[in-house]
Structure 1
């Protein structure tokens, strides 16, 4: 294919009309075809996590250790997300994207994040013993409607194809993850906090006689939402991670 032909394809993508189909499920790559039809997920909770500290491990340790850290982190993310009913869809370098749908989607997403922090803490005890290093991470959680389209090169080579996830909740969750780091590793949008309250799970500390929440409110001027109240927490799940 020539440059001119490829540019013609790009012009078509930019100029053609698109149609949408509503869905309440999280599609896989094989569920969508190339073309001008988008899937609109009317409501989903977007879970974005970003690992920090991996560059330092690459610089100061063997490449094998870097691979071990990334594989371990991905294993922790996928299990925590799927164990809470979520749908893991994308991992690129240090970042990962997942989605939750259902009656308790916000609650399930937050519980997955709290579980993940417990895993990372346990991973860090191993890493500190082996290489005197730790990894950090940040989870951002937003919610709302998003669009999904199949992108890449047509044909049988799926390595050149992927799904594109577009919408304000995606941008919000990514932006919140930028703020999230130890000890406040989990940040949620005001819409997610409102949903948690409606779902009846305010994440109240059970050992606190006053019923205090695990959340701390903070005002941020987000590129995606403007000046708004967001919520962060330093808490984590208490999990049995040893046989």
Structure 2
């Protein structure tokens, strides 16, 4: 069999196989979804956090210093997500994707995003300035951007045996990823997310002021316009 025949056979086999899907109550792992035809539907909140200006990081720092910065950034972001019971399902360079499910998932995900902002600014940045002389002398400043949306998504396994990963299909993961790419604010969420959040993540516990902008239409790319809200607030971690 030629390589072309092998590829054609693989594609035909996939397209002829009907997906066997179920409604999930927990965030699936690779082991819980059949590679051949499995799929899990989730009602979930998707959160993407990205390091802003990572191209500038590589340009202004040595490879070893850049690696230390990325590792420090991801270490803190991962811990904030984990401590808020988010399930991380993807790392892509300096970007992290996490899934939250449950009745209070919008509130928990929003709190996670605001804690990430605070942790990056108040924990990671000072440590970098103290420990890494190269960072201290650079004009590049570590920052983060987070995008969040909620909705239904179908989680499947894609790839081949021993070389596959979970893939989420749906508006929520796609929109959350696009929101994390937007400049101008540290956290961007859809208005439907905001409507599902508790008071504690909508208004500041310090002065009672709104922590989010008013909703406004935003072209997020691909000709798609979403009602979004933005925030530059952070929630302190004790």
- TM-score between both structures, scaled by the size of structure 1: 0.86
Q: Name the residue aligned to 2:203.
A: 204
Shift of 1:2: 4.0
Please say if 1:163 is aligned against 2:166: yes
> Equivalent residues in 2 for 1:58-77 (5 A)?
58-77=58-77
Count of residues in correspondence between the two structures? 229
Question: Alpha carbon RMSD of aligned pairs, Å?
Answer: 2.0
Structure 2: tracts of 5 or more residues without a match: none
Secondary structure, counterpart of 2:203 in structure 1 = coil
Structure 1: tracts of 5 or more residues without a match: none
Alignment partners' CA distance in 2, 1:2 and 1:52: 45
Shift of 1:152: 1.5
Distance 1:225-1:101 versus aligned 2 partners, 3 A rule: farther
Alignment partners' CA distance in 1, 2:100 and 2:183: 20
Shift of 1:225: 8.7
Q: Name the residue aligned to 1:141.
A: 148
Shift of 1:107: 0.9
Q: 1:115 touches 1:236 (CA, 8 Å); kept in 2? A: yes
> Equivalent residues in 2 for 1:99-178 (5 A)?
99-121=99-121, 122-128=123-129, 130=133, 131=135, 132=138, 133-154=140-161, 157=162, 160-178=163-181
After TM superposition, where is structure 1 displaced by more than 6 Å over at least 4 residues in a row? none
Q: Name the residue aligned to 1:227.
A: 225
Q: Name the residue aligned to 1:49.
A: 49
Alignment partners' CA distance in 1, 2:56 and 2:220: 28
Q: Name the residue aligned to 2:8.
A: 7
Alignment partners' CA distance in 2, 1:220 and 1:8: 43
Q: 1:120-172: CA deviations, max 9, x gaps?
A: 11322343452223222210000011011111221xx3xx2211111100111
Secondary structure, counterpart of 2:225 in structure 1 = strand
